[in-house]
Structure formats: structure tokens, C-alpha cells
Amino acid sequence: MEKIVSKRLKELRLQKNYSQEYLSKSLDISSSAYSRMERGVSSTWSQYLPKICNLYDLSISDFFSSHDDNKEVLGNKIEKLHAEVISLRKQLQK
């Protein structure tokens, strides 16, 4: 999953011409932490996914669905991830 996400993070960043530094500041994390997410070395991306999607004006489904070649691989993982994100949002609102 990390490879899919890291590829998508880099793809979106390059499309918008954003720097890793800009994104790390927007997410309130270190540049090295963002770099690790984009390289697929860190799995912390899931806790930042809602903010990342907001930065790119994407839904979580759209974040993943743009990769036709990954749709089969992801299957039900998108729904599971979406449930995780909703749970994290609820925890943050407390």
C-alpha cells in the first residue's frame, strides 16, 4: 500500500508544482517526515490523508481512484482506509 500512496503523493506534488517543503509545512510535519512518506518508507501517511486530500481538493476515493492500474490491487482496502480516516477524524474532534 505504501508504494501506491508514495507514487500518488509524488505524482500530485509534481502536478501542482509543490515542493516537499511546502507540503511538509502545510501538514505541520518535518520535511524529512514528508520525504519518507513520499518514498514509501513511512506508513504515517494515513493520519495525514484528510489534510493531503484537502490540499489537492480531492476526496479520499479520488486520491486512489486515479490509478486505473491499482484499482484491482486496492479493492476493499480503500473502504477500510476510509473507515480508518473517519475514526481518526472523530478522535481528533474529541
Cα torsion for 64, 69, 70, 75, to the nearest 10°? 100
The pLDDT value given to residue 44: 83
**pLDDT digits 0-9 by tens, 42-80:** 888 888 999 999 999 998 888 887 555 555 555 567 777
The pLDDT value given to residue 20: 94
**pLDDT digits 0-9 by tens, 6-32:** 889 999 999 999 999 999 999 999 999
Rounded to whole angstroms, the Cα distance separating 41 from 37 reads 6
- CATH number corresponding to 2-93: 1.10.260.40
